[in-house]
Structure 1
């Protein structure tokens, strides 16, 4: 007895277009390409976005695309607070410190290069993680119809949030640490009395505020130089706090008015514990674990995920 079955008889009959009701959109009959998945991390400056992006990329096959409009530029690594090679933990980063410092890098430029980076990462079987404080860049990339991002990619939005009074205190202390790391000297090396502070990396907070100090320091005695420098540092702190408030307002707008499905992760307790083992444990419980479960569900439809290798966990925690 011949048990073979003709494959012709197994094919379902396709409807003829003349049989389709006129009010039906025939585009539903056209097979659509499955959308790839992208993780987007939002948050005000200083909340730990970069740290979380590396934590997630260390648990999943992922690469990071920077969306901070100052960190795209080459140079001024302390001023722009770029992650170091050691902090990257071997995770590939894109659009980080490779744009000419004096370039007029526009939102459209970002959308074009970020879109190419995301496409390249996805084509290699990796998951893109977009992270940075420039929410206008992210919004333009996700919503601009010219790039068809929404039709090609499904997004998971994570928001690292910290109560503003706590964050303001932290960013002020961070500015002090940046000064200790050489912020003043770094800006002094690129100081130009004819500088245009409306374009390029010189727009970064920390550069315009020191202009008067570098213009006049050689004409002042030690006491007045010290006072002028303290005033400049205080202005850097104030402008950084203002930036954090603007960034938070934009996130609320994206969530409440644009209706983005944003997952909020409250990291306030982490910053209240001011570093050390307790802060690291709070970061793990309040940020890493919930965000990793969200991403696992988003990427694979599962809440189970591989544990971070011990050596890598130590590097991330450190």
Structure 2
């Protein structure tokens, strides 16, 4: 179920237009033009898509899929730890292969690991990136889990808000399933070199993990392991396993905080956020094919419709045609949506 839309399990084919620019109004709610997350045209504003969600929910995957369906798109990172160079495994930075050739901005650009990237600095950089993208007649897609960055960027009095209107997508997953997935992901990160990656950053003379990339989950949890002055393999393994368990616990806590922040933005600040429920995808994780089909049906299909409707409303700067690549995933999402 998507908040702000009514999509029945069996959508009629008449509800889908060939260019996805004309969506049956039974399924798309016209939004209040005064709220953040509006998809009504605002004179003088360009359009931006924002993808939100807790860690591990599939935000990056959705942003890539959207950029593939709307090929005149580029992605702006809004994850504060992924702004930094290095620790690619620890920070779950999207690999060049997974980027699928989609241009990414503000990814691995901060070269000073011990300095914080302030909210105001991020807003300045993100606005410049969006300006650059729209000047080339392309669509910015902002994605990341640092909701404090997003909140400041979309603030009513920000420079960004004065230039852009946004469509907000929230990839939601039932928390017990997400916690299980996040824990399993930590094990995969360890197998992919997380410990070795953190060891390169470790400084025995610096126990400050309150600034810069050293705040990333996965760094300070291994401090005791690296500092252990013992030749006992049993003790070292015990410290390592305790550190890994703490990484899992802190990752799950982060997911809960991110969810609470999104709910606050929606329920307290009144942001209009389209909730896309990916829970079924996580239920089917054991079967890659079934998970992909669930992703197409429950996440990418509805998300493409929401964004297509948002982009199809007229802007007063320029009119952008809705251009979709007939990818196999897109065909799958339509088939799953109209299947009898």
Q: TM-score normalised by the shorter chain: which range applies?
A: 0.7 to 0.9
Q: Is the 8 A contact 1:193 1:215 kept in 2?
A: yes
1:132 aligns with one of 134, 144, 167: 144
Q: Find the residue that maps to 1:306 and give its secondary structure.
A: coil
Matched, 1:299 2:311: yes
Q: Is the 8 A contact 1:89 1:312 kept in 2?
A: no
Report the alpha carbon displacement of residue 274 of structure 1 after superposing the two structures with TM: 1.3
Q: Find the residue that maps to 2:81 and give its secondary structure.
A: coil
1:50 aligns with one of 44, 57, 60: 60
Report the alpha carbon displacement of residue 180 of structure 1 after superposing the two structures with TM: 0.5
Aligned partners of 1:202, 1:249: CA distance in 2, in Å? 24
Q: Is the 8 A contact 2:114 2:213 kept in 1?
A: yes
Aligned partners of 2:62, 2:147: CA distance in 1, in Å? 17
1:204 aligns with one of 200, 213, 216: 216
Aligned partners of 1:228, 1:298: CA distance in 2, in Å? 51
Equivalence for 1:287: 299
Q: Is the 8 A contact 1:44 1:244 kept in 2?
A: yes
Structure 1, residues 235-256: CA drift from partner, whole Å, max 9, x if none?
A: 0000000000000000000111
Report the alpha carbon displacement of residue 144 of structure 1 after superposing the two structures with TM: 5.8
Larger-Rg structure: 1
Aligned partners of 2:209, 2:248: CA distance in 1, in Å? 18
Equivalence for 1:75: 86
Cα separation, partners in 2 of 1:263 and 1:33, compared to 1, 3 Å:
closer
1:249 aligns with one of 260, 285, 292: 260
Matched, 1:240 2:215: no
Q: 1:302-317 residue pairs with structure 2 within 5 A?
A: 306-310=324-328
Equivalence for 1:16: none
The structure showing larger relative contact order (alpha-carbon pairs under 8 Å, at least 6 residues apart) is 2
Cα separation, partners in 2 of 1:140 and 1:251, compared to 1, 3 Å:
same
Q: Find the residue that maps to 2:47 and give its secondary structure.
A: strand
1:215 aligns with one of 221, 227, 231: 227
Cα separation, partners in 2 of 1:313 and 1:191, compared to 1, 3 Å:
farther
Matched, 1:103 2:121: no
**What is the RMSD of the two structures over their aligned residues, measured on CA atoms?**
2.0
**TM-score, normalised relative to structure 1:** 0.84
Report the alpha carbon displacement of residue 307 of structure 1 after superposing the two structures with TM: 4.2
Equivalence for 1:13: none
Report the alpha carbon displacement of residue 148 of structure 1 after superposing the two structures with TM: 2.5
Divergent runs of 4+, >4 A = 310-314
Q: Is the 8 A contact 1:293 1:305 kept in 2?
A: no
Report the alpha carbon displacement of residue 227 of structure 1 after superposing the two structures with TM: 0.8
Report the alpha carbon displacement of residue 305 of structure 1 after superposing the two structures with TM: 6.1
Cα separation, partners in 2 of 1:246 and 1:300, compared to 1, 3 Å:
same
Matched, 1:158 2:169: yes
Equivalence for 2:203: 192
